[in-house]
């Protein structure tokens, strides 16, 4: 954020404001025209020093105001105010009783009505003739008005969402920025009045939503487009001259010319962003920035009197209108002066005393005394009613004993001797699976239990998470192999777990397909409702707007619910697939212990584009053995009649049956 801020000169609060315009109606200086959503038009004169209210005229219309323009639209009148509403284009004349009067009247001259709601407009200046107004409707249809006549009304452009429009008088080209594309149209093609499809001279994909368009005249006309995240400038042939990447979302833009700077080689523009900042550029070079203390949606540079020329007018969405100028004095916070006097001699004595204490503590063995030897801490838990251990007696009570060892700095091995008064209990205490961790466990969300049965020479591994069985079994086999050389180890392949996991994956896949069908149906409903709403906006029939809003809300919520269910099923399938991969690897490890090689590993189907069914068929075919492969080759490549087997014809059998009869 900039340290410099905008100095406020005049401010007004107008509720429901929608647009502002600077125009000169008298005394050859600018006045400010404010239009509201409630149809109110207010003309302010901020440069008038006699009246603090600054209001020249206030008029209430019947329609909300979208845009305004002021120019010579009739040859018999100087300045006319054109007001665009959704269904009308109205021309007003500003009349004063005498040149020095501070109050005026706003009189309606004539108006044009639309069958389709209007979206925006632009002024078409013509040399030695009154200016024209080009209006774009919500369905991207262009209509040209000259005075009280409609020159033409063309077929809609190839776009769904209307955007800013602008006109270049030097090249006589119309620019439209609909659907995120900037397109150029020769104005001579439209003035012919043909109802054929309009062909673009050139087009460019902006990659973002266009917010504002400014067109400069001169030897090198430039079209400047403000988008949400960048500002782009184009020449007459459609080539990009320069671009500016914005760090915040762009809100408004305006071009300005100074009376003291007559250089037309550069374009000077002001850009307002969503972080309350005004950026002043000379083409794509940033020359100044300041804090606007608001997020304006409209910007103007006006000269209301000789004392305040080229001041900035900003309009916020809340209805606040601020007129100010750039300040050069930053508003910085001043740090209070430190009046504490430091006595350096006393500080040096204190430091010497602290150093002496540190030396004495080091000579005595340090300030922190370590305990000598290994420290053991025992925590005895509550006594349970009965245990679930397989080798324990039925309904035998149990007690959890937590032993914590500390000060194990130079200890490589730790032997634990357990003494008990009962010999039988001493013999049953065993530690067969020592982990060897020097830190206590911090969580028990995932547990793996390994039970040792010495009488049967078996280990049993238990866990609620099936995917962790392979890790524990692999580590157990590794440690047994390191402890006892030449030990034959085997295990039972968990086919039951694999089958259950496959059934679960198949069931989840079926539910996922059903949710996908539901999502398709809900998306079709939402699109149909959007199409119906768009048709209602085009025709102007807003009677069923409440019902469509409720229907859209219901369909949209059901769509979001189905999408959440679809994502949940996808996550569950991924988890089940991970567990299945672990079970496949466990089966491969157990088969390897029995000296049987198999293709079922943890990645035998994840690294391919085949389905699980296809990979399982391939695995079964690969694991049939040499005998089955020989039989298959014999059946595929040998004649149908097998050797040493005599085949009798059916006719001979029938003859024998007839003779026997």
Q: What is the tens place of the pLDDT at every residue in 441-496?
A: 445 566 777 777 666 677 777 776 777 777 778 887 788 777 777 777 777 777 77
Q: Which residue has the higher pLDDT, 299 or 536?
A: 299
Highest mean pLDDT among 239-243, 596-600, 602-606: 239-243
* Bridge partners of residue 243, in order along the sequence: 232
Give the model confidence (pLDDT) of 405-429 as tens digits: 777 666 777 777 766 666 555 445 5
Burial 235-270 (b: 16+ CB within 10 A, else e): ebeeeeeeebebebebbbbbebeeeeeeeeeebbbb
**Per-residue pLDDT band at 198 (split at 50, 70, 90):** confident
Of the listed ranges 243-252, 520-529, 598-607, the least confidently predicted one is 598-607
**Does the pLDDT at position 150 exceed 50?**
yes
Q: What's the rounded mean pLDDT across residues 64-85?
A: 89
- pLDDT the model gives residue 46: 84
Residue 497: pLDDT over 50: yes
| Nearest-angstrom CA–CA distance, 444 and 523 | 44
Q: Residues 35, 57: contact at Cβ < 8 Å?
A: no
* Cβ-based burial of 115 (10 A; exposed 0-12, middle 13-18, buried ≥19): exposed
CB 250 within 8 A of CB 229: yes
Provide the mean pLDDT of the chain. Answer: 79
Distance CA 517, CA 562 (A): 10
Band (338; pLDDT cuts 50, 70, 90): low
The answer to whether the CB of 126 falls within 8 A of the CB of 118 is no
pLDDT number for residue 52: 63
Using a pLDDT cut of 70, give the percent of the chain over it.
Answer: 77
pTM for the complete prediction? Answer: 0.50
362 pLDDT exceeds 70? no
| Beta carbons within 8 Å of 525's beta carbon, 6+ residues apart | 555, 559
Kindly tell me if the per-residue pLDDT of 219 is higher than 90. Answer: no
């Amino acid at each position: 954020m900039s340290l410099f801020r905008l100095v406020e000169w005049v401010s007004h609060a107008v509720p429901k404001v929608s647009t502002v315009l600077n125009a000169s109606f008298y005394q050859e200086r600018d006045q400010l025209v404010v239009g509201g959503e409630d149809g109110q038009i207010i003309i302010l004169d901020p440069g008038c020093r006699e009246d603090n209210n600054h209001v020249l005229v206030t008029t209430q219309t019947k329609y909300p105001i979208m845009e305004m323009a002021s120019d010579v639209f009739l040859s018999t009148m100087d300045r006319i105010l054109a007001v665009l509403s959704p269904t009308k284009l109205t021309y007003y004349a500003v009349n004063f009783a005498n040149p020095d009067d501070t109050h005026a009247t706003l009189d309606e001259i004539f108006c044009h009505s639309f069958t389709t709601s209007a979206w925006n407009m632009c002024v078409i200046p013509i040399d030695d003739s009154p200016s024209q107004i080009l209006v774009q409707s919500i369905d991207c249809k262009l209509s040209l008005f000259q005075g009280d006549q409609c020159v033409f009304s063309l077929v809609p452009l190839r776009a769904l969402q209307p955007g800013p429009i602008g006109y270049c008088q030097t090249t006589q080209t119309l620019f439209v920025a609909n659907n995120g594309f900037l397109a150029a149209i020769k104005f001579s093609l439209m003035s012919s009045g043909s109802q054929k499809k309009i062909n673009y001279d050139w087009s460019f994909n902006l990659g973002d939503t266009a917010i504002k368009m400014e067109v400069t005249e001169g030897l090198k006309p430039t079209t400047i487009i403000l988008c949400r995240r960048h500002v782009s400038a184009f020449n007459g042939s459609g080539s990009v001259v320069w671009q500016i990447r914005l760090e915040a979302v762009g809100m408004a833009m305006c071009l300005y010319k100074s009376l003291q700077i007559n250089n037309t080689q550069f374009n000077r523009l002001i850009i307002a962003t969503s972080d309350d900042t005004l950026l002043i550029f000379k083409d794509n070079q940033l020359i100044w920035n300041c804090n606007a203390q608001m997020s304006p949606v409209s910007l103007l540079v006006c000269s209301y009197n000789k004392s305040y020329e080229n001041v900035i007018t900003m309009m916020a969405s809340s209805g606040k209108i601020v007129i100010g100028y750039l300040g050069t004095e930053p508003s910085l916070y001043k740090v209070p002066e430190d009046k504490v006097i430091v006595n350096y001699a006393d500080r040096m004595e204190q430091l010497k005393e602290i150093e002496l204490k540190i030396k004495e503590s080091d000579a005595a063995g340090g300030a922190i005394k370590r305990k000598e030897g290994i420290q053991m801490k025992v925590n005895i838990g509550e006594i349970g009613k009965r245990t679930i251990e397989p080798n324990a007696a039925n309904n035998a009570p149990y007690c959890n004993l937590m032993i914590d060892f500390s000060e194990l700095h130079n200890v490589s091995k730790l032997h634990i001797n357990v003494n008990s008064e009962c010999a039988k209990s001493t013999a049953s205490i065993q530690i067969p699976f020592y982990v060897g961790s020097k830190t206590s466990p911090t969580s028990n969300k995932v547990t793996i239990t390994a039970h040792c049965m010495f009488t049967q020479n078996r280990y049993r591994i238990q866990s609620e998470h099936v995917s962790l069985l392979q890790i524990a079994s692999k580590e157990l086999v590794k440690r047994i192999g390191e402890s006892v050389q030449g030990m034959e180890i085997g295990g039972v392949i968990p086919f039951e777990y694999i089958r259950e996991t496959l059934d679960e994956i198949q069931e989840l896949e079926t539910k996922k397909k059903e949710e996908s069908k539901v999502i398709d149906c809900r998306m079709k409903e939402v699109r149909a409702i959007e199409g119906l709403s768009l048709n209602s906006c085009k025709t102007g029939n807003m009677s069923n707007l409440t019902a469509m809003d409720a229907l859209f809300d219901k369909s949209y919520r059901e769509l979001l619910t189905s999408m959440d269910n679809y994502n949940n099923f996808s996550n569950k399938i991924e988890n089940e697939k991970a567990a299945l991969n672990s079970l496949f690897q466990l089966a491969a490890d157990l088969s390897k212990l029995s000296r049987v090689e198999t293709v079922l590993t943890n990645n035998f189907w994840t690294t391919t584009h085949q389905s699980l069914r296809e990979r399982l068929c391939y695995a079964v075919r690969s694991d049939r053995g040499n005998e089955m492969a020989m039989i298959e080759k014999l059946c595929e490549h040998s004649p149908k009649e097998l050797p040493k087997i005599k085949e009798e014809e059916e006719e001979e059998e029938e003859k024998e049956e007839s003779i026997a009869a």
